[in-house]
């Protein structure tokens, strides 16, 4: 079961290294546009338990609530190709009383080239009645601990792509 530990350091960003599979590619040997979602979500699902010591099912069981996707914004910058090793990073960049915005991005294996940026907005929903519910208690504290805030008043996806590209060039 999930228990928030205020003394624990919770990393802000998850990272996975994966290979682009043949069956997920189009005839041009590029990762199929729809498959990016699978790669992003699977990477985060694998990393969250490792970094935070919690499975999403723990949140659902304990709080009888879950995050439900209601918006995606994806930018395909450079193709991921069959057999290529890539890095997938994710982090929560914004949250309020009942929503979160998760940023996912994919780079080449050496983290020099940005391939894709995905922003996914999710609403926290009560499992009993299907209605939005607020983040309370330990859930709210957990979100504060893991969010790497981005000022969305001053940043849109295009500007974020520029920022991420500039960060990749520095490393």
The 8 Å CB, 24+ separation contacts for 131-137 are 132/98, 133/65, 133/98, 134/97, 134/98, 135/95, 135/97, 135/98, 136/63
CATH number of 14-170: 3.10.129.10
CA–CA separation, 82 and 68 (whole Å): 31
**Predicted local confidence at residue 4, as pLDDT:** 85
Whether the CB-CB separation of 111 and 99 falls below 8 Å is answered with no
Taking the C-alpha atoms of residue 151 and residue 164, their distance in angstroms, rounded to an integer, is 15
Q: List per-residue pLDDT tens for the chain, 171 residues long.
A: 678 889 999 999 999 999 999 999 999 999 999 999 999 999 999 999 999 988 888 888 999 999 999 999 999 999 999 999 999 999 999 999 999 999 999 999 999 999 999 999 999 999 999 999 999 989 999 999 999 999 999 999 999 999 999 999 776
**pLDDT the model gives residue 109:** 97
Residue 171: predicted pLDDT: 64
pTM of the predicted model, to two decimals?
0.95
Confidence at residue 170, expressed as pLDDT on a 0 to 100 scale: 76
Write down the domain spans for the chain.
14-170
- Which residues contact residue 118 at a Cβ distance below 8 angstroms, ignoring those fewer than 6 apart? 36, 37, 40, 72, 73, 74, 75, 103, 104, 105
At 2 the pLDDT is 73
- d(CA 76, CA 72) in angstroms, rounded, equals 13
């Amino acid at each position: 079961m999930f228990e928030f530990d205020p003394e624990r350091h919770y990393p802000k960003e998850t990272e996975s290294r994966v290979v682009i599979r043949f069956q997920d590619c189009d005839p041009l040997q590029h990762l199929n546009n729809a498959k990016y979602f699978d790669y992003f979500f699977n990477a985060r699902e694998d990393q969250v338990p490792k970094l935070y010591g919690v499975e999403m099912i723990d949140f659902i069981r304990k709080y009888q609530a879950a995050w439900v996707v209601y918006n995606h914004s994806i930018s395909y910058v450079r193709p991921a190709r069959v057999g290529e090793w890539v890095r997938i990073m994710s982090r929560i960049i914004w949250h309020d009383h009942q929503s979160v915005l998760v940023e996912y991005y994919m780079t080449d294996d050496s983290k020099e080239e940005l391939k894709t940026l995905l922003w996914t907005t999710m609403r926290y929903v009560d499992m009993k009645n299907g209605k939005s519910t607020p983040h309370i208690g330990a859930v709210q504290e957990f979100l504060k601990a893991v969010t790497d805030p981005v000022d969305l008043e001053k940043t849109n996806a295009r500007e974020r792509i520029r920022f991420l590209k500039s960060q990749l060039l520095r490393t």
